[in-house]
Amino acid sequence: MFRKQILVITACALTLVAHAELTWVGIKPSETDPQINTFNTPHWICVNEAVLLGKSEAGIKDRHELLLFLPGTSGHGQGPKEFLETAANLGYHVITLMYPDDVPAASFRNARNKDAFEAFRMAIIRGGKTPYITVDRTDSIENRLAKLLLWLESERPRENWGQFLQGEEIAWEHIAMAGQSQGGGHAALIAIKHRVARVLMFGAPKDYSIAYDEPAAWYAETPATPLRRFFAINHMQDRQGCDFRQQLKNLAALKMDRLGAPVDVDNEDPPYRHSRILITNYPGTPVDSKTAHGTAIGNRHKAVFLPVWNYLLTEPTGDEK
C-alpha cells in the first residue's frame, strides 16, 4: 500500500492530495474568478499522472475526455471518490464542480408552470433571473467550469486541461457529464443543450410534475447529444423527488428505452445487454429512500458497483474512431 501524502497550501487556497499515481487537487472557485464569492468551497480535480504522461504500466491511455461530476443538493467536497478515481484510472481528467446547489429541484413538483423545472435548472447552468431562483452568470455552472479550466490550463499545463476549451469557451464535445440527484438532472439538461461525449445519471433525473402527473416538459426537447450517449442507474427503493415508477417514466420521456429495456444489474453481468437504463435493488432488503438514492455511486459500495461504473464510463457509444 502506498503512503498517502497531504499538502495544504493556504496562501492560494489550494489543497493537494496524492495517493499512488492519483492526484487530487482542491481549488476554491474564487481563486479562478475573484467575482465568485458564494458557494466557495473547493472544486476538486483528480488525475492519474502516469496515464496522462503515457507511463501507465497497465497500458491505459489518456481518453482526452473530461468527466465533469455535479453533486446533488447541498453536495460539496470531493464527491464519490471511488467512482471518480475509477474514471481517472480509465484515462479521464476528472472535475467535481462546486455550484449553487442549495435549492432542491423537487421544490417545483407542484408548480403549475410546466417549464418551471427547466427555468430553475437553466438559471443554475447559465445564470438568470426566474420566479424560482436567481443566479448571476458569474456563479453559473458554465462560468465556473470555464474559469476553472482556464486556471488549470495556466497553473497545471502539463496535464493539458486546455484541450477542453475553445478559446475561453467550453469544448462540450470533449466532456462527459455525470451527476447524482440534482446534479444528474443538470447533466442531462446540459446534454440536451450541448453535444457532449456522454452523460451518466445516478439517482436521476428526478424532475416529475406532481401537478400534472407527468415527466417534466424539458425531457421531450430534441437533444444536441445523440441518444446512445445517455446512461442512467436508479434504485428501485429510491423515492427522493419521485418514486421508481415515475423515474422510469422520466427515462422513457427521454426516449432512453428505445435503446433497450431496463436491466437489473443485481442479476446480470456486463455489458447488461448494452442497455442505457440500469436498475438495482441492492442489497436486496428494505432500505430507506435516502440510502437507496445514493447507493449506486456510494464509496462504500465499490466492490459491488465497480463493474457498473466501468460499463458506464467505457461502453461504446458508436462514435469511437
Q: What is the pLDDT of residue 18?
A: 44
Look at residue 125 and tell me if it is in a domain.
yes
Q: What is the pLDDT of residue 44?
A: 98
* Per-residue model confidence as pLDDT tens digits over 123-176: 999 999 988 899 999 999 999 999 999 999 999 999 999 999 999 999 999 999
Query: Rounded CA gap, 37 and 242, in Å?
Result: 33
Look at residue 91 and tell me if it is in a domain.
yes
Average pLDDT over residues 21-46: 96
* Per-residue model confidence as pLDDT tens digits over 234-256: 999 999 999 999 999 999 999 99
End-to-end alpha carbon distance in the chain: 37
Range with lowest mean pLDDT among 59-63, 194-198, 307-311: 59-63
Are the C-beta atoms of residues 27 and 14 closer than 8 Å to each other? yes
Query: Rounded CA gap, 271 and 311, in Å?
Result: 7
Look at residue 321 and tell me if it is in a domain.
no
Are the C-beta atoms of residues 265 and 284 closer than 8 Å to each other? no
> Does 204 have pLDDT greater than 90?
yes
Q: What is the pLDDT of residue 21?
A: 80
Task: Please enumerate in sequence order all residues whose Cβ is within 8 A of that of 24, keeping only pairs 6 or more positions apart, or say none.
Answer: 15, 16, 17, 18, 44, 45, 46, 78
Strand partners, 264: 279
Q: Per the omega criterion (within 30 degrees of 0), is the bond before 205 cis? A: yes
Q: What is the pLDDT of residue 156?
A: 97
Angle between helices 116-126 and 141-155 in degrees, nearest 10: 20
Residues 171-206 as b or e (16 or more Cβ within 10 Å = b): ebebbbbbbbbbbbbbbbbbbbbbebbbbbbbbbbb
Q: What is the pLDDT of residue 246?
A: 98
Which amino acid belongs to residue 61? K
Which amino acid belongs to residue 96? T
Give SS3 for 29. Answer: helix
* Per-residue model confidence as pLDDT tens digits over 280-309: 999 999 999 999 999 999 999 999 999 999
Query: Rounded CA gap, 42 and 164, in Å?
Result: 20
Q: Helices in 17-127 by DSSP H: which ranges?
A: 29-32, 49-52, 81-89, 116-126
Number of neighbours of residue 269 by Cβ within 10 angstroms: 8
Query: Rounded CA gap, 149 and 141, in Å?
Result: 12
Q: What is the pLDDT of residue 20?
A: 55
What is the pLDDT confidence band of residue 318, given thresholds at 50, 70 and 90?
confident
Q: Helices in 41-113 by DSSP H: which ranges?
A: 49-52, 81-89
Average pLDDT over residues 191-214: 97
Average pLDDT over residues 36-64: 93
Angle between helices 302-314 and 81-89 in degrees, nearest 10: 50
Look at residue 240 and tell me if it is in a domain.
yes
Query: Rounded CA gap, 306 and 312, in Å?
Result: 10
Strand partners, 6: 17
CA angle 316, 174, 38 (to 5 degrees): 125
- Look-up: residue for cell 467505457? 314
User: E-assigned strands of the chain?
Assistant: 5-9, 14-19, 22-27, 43-48, 66-70, 93-96, 128-129, 134-135, 165-166, 169-170, 175-180, 198-202, 208-209, 214-215, 230-235, 263-264, 277-280
Look at residue 77 and tell me if it is in a domain.
yes
What is the pLDDT confidence band of residue 56, given thresholds at 50, 70 and 90?
confident
Q: What proportion of the chain, given as a percentage, has pLDDT over 90?
A: 87
* Per-residue model confidence as pLDDT tens digits over 6-17: 233 333 445 444
Give the pairing type, strands 165-166 and 169-170.
Answer: antiparallel
Look at residue 196 and tell me if it is in a domain.
yes
Look at residue 320 and tell me if it is in a domain.
no
Residue 289 CA neighbour count, 13 Å, CB half: 8
Average pLDDT over residues 60-70: 97
Domain count, the chain: 1
* Per-residue model confidence as pLDDT tens digits over 97-121: 999 999 999 899 999 999 999 999 9
Give residue 48's domain range.
5-314
> Does 25 have pLDDT greater than 90?
yes
Look at residue 319 and tell me if it is in a domain.
no
Average model confidence (pLDDT) across the chain: 92
CATH number of the domain encompassing residue 155:
3.40.50.1820
